[in-house]
Amino acid sequence: MTQEGKIEAILFAAGQAVKIRTLAEALEVTEEEVRELLKRLKEEYVKNHRGIDIVIFEDKVQMCTNDSYGDIVRKALKMEITQGLSQAALEVLAIIAYNQPITKAEIERIRGVRSDKPINTLLEYNLIKESGRASSPGRPILYSTTEDFLKYFGISSLKELPEIEPTS
């Protein structure tokens, strides 16, 4: 058994993101060694045009389908391409991504319109989550983005979000 094979088996069996620390503990190696093993696996997948990929999200890693094989996977599994998010949902998502944690009232103040429906849609898609309560009167819910948000936009950290230009 190879260390790379062990990582593949764990990630495949998990079916979701696994903490790098968890992999290190299971393999009885350091987190840095796990990162090096993941790098080698990723390079091997690219070199051999494999249908799977390893995606690292900050302190977690997940085995995913290689994007270039998406069409054939959907065809084989008869998956329908999900409808894109509405303009309103994208606006709310951007506001949350750049201002999190944020309350619904703050979102609506920025947008100038009610945002119940877009917030509910984003919660259903698991792109945002309730991340606590504000200390202001009424203790309103705070919203933040999720790991699925990072996956949806193909980034591994919020630091990778594009800079926004200040408005005058």
> Looking at residue 119, which CATH number applies to its domain?
1.10.10.10
Q: 20 is in which domain, residue-wise?
A: 3-76
Q: Which of 76, 99, 123 is the last residue of a domain?
A: 76
Enter the DSSP assignment of 131. Answer: E
Residues 11 and 52 occupy one common structural domain: yes
Tokens 């100038």, residue located = 112
Give the per-residue pLDDT at 85. 79
Q: What is the pLDDT of residue 149?
A: 87
Read off the pTM: 0.55
Give the percent of the chain with pLDDT over 70. 93
Give the Cα-Cα-Cα angle 93, 99, 100 (nearest 5 degrees). 80
Same-domain pairing of 108 and 45? no
Q: Residue 66: its pLDDT value, please?
A: 85
Do the domain assignments include residue 168? no
- Separation between Cα atoms, residue 90 and residue 149, nearest integer Å: 11
Residue 78: predicted pLDDT: 53
The pLDDT > 90 percentage for the chain reads 57
Last residue of a domain, one of 76, 101, 116: 76
Report pLDDT for 163: 84
What tokens appear for 77 in the block? 């599994």
> Which residue positions in the chain have pLDDT lower than 50?
80-82
Q: Residues 123-141: pLDDT tens digits? A: 988 899 999 999 999 999 9
Long-range CB contacts (< 8 A, 24+ apart) of 109-116? 115/88
Is 41 part of a structural domain of the chain?
Answer: yes
Question: Alpha carbon of 69 to those of 36, 61, 66, 72, 106: distances in Å?
Answer: 25, 20, 6, 6, 40
Strand order in the sheet with 18-19: 18-19, 60-65, 52-57
| C-beta contacts of 107-115 below 8 A and 24+ residues apart | 107/143, 115/88
